[in-house]
Chains A and B, each alone.
Chain A
Amino acid sequence: MTIHDLLAVLPEAIVTLVAIVVLVIDAGVGERRARPWLPWVTIVGLAIALASQSWAPAGGTFFGGFVVVDDFSRFFRLLFIVLAAFTVLVAPPYLRREEVSAGEFYATVLFSTIGAMTIALATDLITLFVGIELMSIPVYVLAGLQRRDRYANEASLKYFLLGAFSTAILLYGFAWLFGISGSTDLAKIAAAVRTAGLGSPAVVVALALVTTGLGFKAAVVPFHQWTPDAYEGAPTPSTAFMSVAPKAAAFAAILRVMATALGPIQLDWALVFAILAVITMTTGNIVALVQTNVKRMLAYSSIAHTGYILAAVAATAAGASAGAAVLFYVFAYGIMNLGAFACLELLDLEGTRGATLDELNGLWSRHAAGATAFTIFLVNLTGIPPTVGFLAKFLVFQPVIDAGFTWLAVAIALNAAAAAFYYLRVVVHMFMYDAEAAAPKVEPARVLSWSLGIASIATIVLGILPDPIYSFAVRAAGPILTK
């Protein structure tokens, strides 16, 4: 262990420091005076963390094999820092209105971000597990941060109980993997799994436990049921963060564990993942169709998107293009879904409740920029060109078909077509109907509007010029999926 090791995790260390600084400022100068400054402290800190990568070692294994820095971890660093920054930019109006402690919110988001970044660094079960816990526990807190709201309490408690349950399952699976190989190193586990094969009952049990545990984190049906309750009850800025970062981190973990450690038996789990993908996207879409509350509808739609991403995971036999599809989708999904939830923060509704369709009536005439941004995010989620959402779906098709899952590609196409209905219904309500007399007040928040505007334009720019991110995703998928 040298100072070199510490430098390798410099971005993570800086994010940690920023989180502590935010907490100390909050406690030191008092909530009221610190509130306007905290978001900017956080943003600057995140920017420094991102920039600090240039001083960190470019690549290699550190801490005696517990941590690896490669393009994969760098891709997710970028993604998580961007998501955290976006969350922090859009949160303040809501936090002020609902009297949620700002310092705690930003610090908790940062703590969760550190965990998510750690997951991407892991080539070892222990690092991975620490990362997963470090990411999850702050998210349980985020769900319940609005302490006096019943629904937030319910969301937090449910998420926590079921999260603990599934973590236990995951950890049990890790224990079996350790039992098979006598090591926590993913590469050594892969070697042991290759020798044992699926013929060994231990591998069967480990595989099932790990699939369940990671499936829960990514909200795969049938391990998804916490999602709508937790997303709907949590304060909206928390929901925005919860719906993207932990999911992206879960897919980072899935790629690390399934493609590396369990890669040798890829053929055995690929079909199961493909079936889970179809069940997940179909369930998410069908239930989303009948929702009238937009927040809950978006919760179900996020389950559907899990299905699309899972389809690309199932296609890892197709090589790096599948991994790149997962990474690109996760990136695109992160921005568009976070943006869609953040648009709900524009409306002043009591408690954590999301807007119903009727409450969005005529938003276009009351807040044109917000309605436009929301529309762009929904068009992204629908997957209509030239948005990045379209490209992300499109990129999933090729590996899925290359891997021999033509029926899965058909299922994705049908699901995407059905999903158009409930997304565009929101647009119809915003543009075509007149606002009701009792329509909720619109938040006059400048930073929020600008952030939404910039993010929505970014989704279109990325749809037209995807190459910087896509080639990064291809490079990042390299170390995972080149055999």
Chain B
Amino acid sequence: MNIDVVGLVWLVPGIPLAAAIVNGLFGRRWLHRATGVIASVALGLSAVLGVAIFFAVVAAGHVARTVTLYEWIGAGDFHVNVAALVDPLSATMVAVVTVVSFLIHVFSNGYMEHDPGIHRFFTWLPLFVFLMLTLVLADNYLLMFVGWEGVGLCSYLLIGFWFERPAPYTAANKAFWMNRIGDWGFTIGTILTFLTFGSLTFHDVFPKVAGVAQTQPLTITFIALAFFLGATGKSAQLPLYSWLPDAMEGPTPVSALIHAATMVTAGVYLVARSTPLFAVAGPALLVVAIIGAVTALFAATIALVQVDIKRVLAYSTVSQLGYMFLACGVGAPIAAVFHLATHAFFKALLFLGSGSVIHATEEQDMRRMGGLRRKMPITYWTFLLAGGALAAIPPLAGFWSKDEIVGAAFTNGQPILWAVGVGTGLLTAFYTTRMIYLTFHGEPRDHHLYDHAHESPAVMTVPLLLLCVGAVFAGLVLGFPPEAGFIHRFLEGTVTAEAAAQSELPNYVLIAGLAATAVVAGLIGIAIGYAMYARRRPDPAAVSRAVGPIYTLLWNKYFVDELYDHRILEGGRALFGAAWAFDAHIIDGIVDRLAWLVSLLGSGLRRVQTGIVGNYALSIAAGLLILIVVYGGYATGVLHR
């Protein structure tokens, strides 16, 4: 019996959607905690099918098949279908998204067990998966935009899940508005794409890119930058990154799924998917690389001093996403997708591990933890391995992918970006060590908390163990040997502009040398971390006193939030656009502090609205006169069209 698995691709997002609908309709009254089981089973089926499709694509080699559900808009020369593009890139994404989602759904059954809003949680979470898969599978920019907006909406709903408290909904609003700025870029990019290419479908647009780049290089650059603006919003890059750390107010499984493993990588996916576009977009690619590298370094420095375990992870996510953009920017999109895949596993694991700790202690401040290793062995060991992967310790997953990115920066003639990458690696290793040490090692600093801590139930630890398998082996399985591993052969030709460039044998001496440098940097970071937090030589407190101003700067996250919230609001509103004003209004809850210009104009126009009929009639008559003059001007040739 031969089943056309790829033809069933719409079931992959369809099943989570069905679960979301069932849970949404019947959850509150009848299903309650059963919603978790329904969602998990649905995601399980979806994951099985997703993995089957992945293998079907692997077996078929370089396929790119479009599975059309129905014609969405069709009029004249404008056609948009609801269609899935199944190729190696989307198949990889589908497999990663469904598997990680499934494990996180299972974990959430334990984590959300006592929450009264559990039915809401298990409505939004599968809905999110549905929209994420729509985004990933879309064969055109418009459908992708639907998924793009949809995951933003779910992210908003889930960050604000505990909306009774002020912090979550403030964070949700912040995320929403920052994403809106990015979405604006996406919209502009989509419209320009349609204008330039006459289509929004990937396989119509990309073959024409090279030709158009000859005649209209500026347009292509502008389109690429517009899409990249969208990507910075969704993937929390500079300058639109600050919503992601705040988004940690949401439940931890949400942080793991949406704000680490999947949604935030949508920007990377967009850039990787549009590689043919970016490849000919001139300076746009350099912009991507620089923003990526700077974000990676910037976020890593902030992560050094955070005390909230989830915030450390959040900044580390921003930093790792920066790596992925760096990879795209230096012409190594395969490395970006590779890192995306490994990162999905180890970062989801880290978040779930932190969730396990938070579940056990009901505390997020690492200063009050310590010594939990003895109480929570499974959590500790999986967390340790995932931390190793984050710090890029060979042979864990993160090493292979991150090393490839940093190496690509060097081999593609960007030694400065390479140095930034290596430096960031050192910082990453340091804050990872610090986080693990503060949480799990040393003496318990809060005995009450320590005494009540306990290992999480199996429904939570089993997903940890399964993710741990991915975090340890994903790199080896997918990416060994370096630059010629499975993922390279698989994705080659799909995301690279010229497949030929990759076919030469990689220079292993150079690769090994670069890898060794990176590993040494990582080890130095770990060593410093160990010295400071295990041996107290030098004592961390002394260090922070010694570098006082720098410490203050990092502790306050470079005052960026203050800058965004106040300074720009006061002074440079025109510069950043009204969107910032919206942000500040919602956040500060000051409804009437609208941009003075707008309110001045608004009340000015309101004053015109006198309520006196005679005045209204006068304005109609005046309008009529102006029309006569204008039309007369055309007629006599005084005015030109």
A contacts, CB < 8 Å to B: 157-158, 161-162, 165-166, 169, 198-201, 203-205, 207-209, 211-212, 215-216, 222-223, 225-226, 228-229, 267-269, 271-272, 283, 286-287, 289-290, 320-321, 324, 357, 384-386, 391, 395, 397-398, 401, 409, 413, 417-418, 420-421, 425, 428, 431-432, 464-467, 470-471, 474
Contact = CB atoms under 8 A, between A and B. Distances in A.
A212 B76 contact: no
B75 A471 contact: yes
Nearest to B577: A417
Given A225-B609, A428-B586, A385 B145 contact: yes
B628 A204 contact: yes
Contacts, number: 139
30 contacts: A157-B613, A161-B617, A165-B620, A198-B631, A198-B634, A207-B627, A208-B628, A222-B619, A222-B623, A223-B620, A223-B623, A225-B620, A228-B609, A268-B631, A268-B634, A286-B602, A286-B605, A287-B606, A289-B594, A290-B598, A290-B602, A290-B603, A320-B76, A357-B591, A398-B78, A417-B579, A432-B169, A465-B70, A467-B71, A474-B75
A384 B149 contact: yes
Select the residue from A203, A272, A409, A474 with max chain B CB neighbours within 10 A. Answer: A272
The A interface is mostly helix, strand or loop, or mixed, namely: helix
A406 B418 CA distance: 42
Given A225-B609, A272-B630, A162 B635 contact: no
B41 interface: no
Interface string B119-159: 00000000000000000000000000110011000000000
Interface string B156-200: 000000010000010001000000100010011001001100000
Residue of A207, A466, A471 ringed by the most chain B CB atoms within 10 A: A207
Contacts of B605: 283, 286-287
Contacts of A464: 72
Contact of B613 (A161, A166, A208, A386): A161
A158 B184 contact: no
Interface of B: 70-76, 78, 145-146, 149-150, 163, 169, 173, 180, 184, 187-188, 191, 194-195, 578-579, 582, 586, 591, 594, 598-599, 601-603, 605-606, 608-609, 611, 613, 615-617, 619-620, 622-624, 627-628, 630-632, 634-635, 641
Contact of A467 (B74, B145, B146, B620): B74
B256 to A, nearest CB: 25
Contacts of B70: 465
A395 B617 CA distance: 34
Given A208-B624, A222-B623, A272-B630, 15 more contacts: A207-B631, A208-B628, A222-B620, A223-B620, A272-B631, A286-B601, A286-B602, A290-B594, A290-B606, A321-B78, A386-B146, A425-B591, A467-B74, A470-B75, A471-B75
B178 to A, nearest CB: 14
A283 B582 CA distance: 19
What are the 10 A-B residue pairs with the smallest beta carbon separation, nearest first?
A: A290-B602, A208-B627, A222-B623, A225-B616, A208-B628, A212-B624, A198-B635, A204-B631, A385-B146, A287-B605
Contacts of B586: 428
Nearest to A434: B164
A406 B446 CA distance: 64
A230 B385 CA distance: 68
A42 B627 CA distance: 42
B49 to A, nearest CB: 23
A211 B623 CA distance: 10
A384 B145 CA distance: 10
A468 to B, nearest CB: 12
A397 B609 CA distance: 31
Nearest to A225: B616
A426 B124 CA distance: 22
A465 B591 CA distance: 37
A409 B191 contact: yes
Residue of A198, A286, A431, A467 with highest tally of chain B CB at under 10 A: A286
A212 B629 CA distance: 13
A42 B145 CA distance: 42
B598 A158 contact: no
B623 A212 contact: yes
A204 B187 CA distance: 39
Contacts of B74: 467
A200 B632 CA distance: 9
Given A208-B628, A289-B598, A421 B623 contact: no
A9 B78 CA distance: 35
B635 A199 contact: yes
A212 B626 CA distance: 10
Contacts of B163: 431-432
Contacts of A199: 635
A384 B150 CA distance: 10
B611 A287 contact: no
A19 B632 CA distance: 45
A324 B75 contact: yes
Contact of B632 (A204, A212, A269): A204
B624 A417 contact: no
B628 A286 contact: no
A271 B641 contact: yes
A446 to B, nearest CB: 18
- Identify the interface centre among B195, B613, B622: most chain A CB within 10 Å of its CB: B613
Nearest to A228: B609
Nearest to A268: B634
B632 A201 contact: yes
Given A198-B635, A222-B620, A421 B75 contact: no
Contacts of B145: 385
B205 to A, nearest CB: 16
Contact of B620 (A162, A267, A386, A395): A162
A188 to B, nearest CB: 22
Contact of B578 (A208, A290, A418): A418
Contacts of A321: 75-76, 78
Contacts of B76: 320-321, 474
B18 to A, nearest CB: 16
B623 A162 contact: no
Given A225-B609, A385-B146, A162 B617 contact: yes
B613 A162 contact: yes
B169 A289 contact: no
Contacts of B75: 321, 324, 470-471, 474
A271 B634 CA distance: 11
Given A209-B624, A432-B169, A204 B149 contact: no
B620 A208 contact: no
Contacts of B184: 417
Contacts of B606: 287, 290
Contacts of B594: 289-290
A40 B533 CA distance: 77
A467 B80 CA distance: 11
Contacts of A161: 613, 617
B188 A413 contact: yes
A212 B631 contact: no
A454 B194 CA distance: 34
B250 to A, nearest CB: 16
Contacts of A166: 620
Contacts of B619: 222-223, 225
- Most chain A beta carbons < 10 A, residue from B75, B169, B634: B75
Nearest to A284: B605
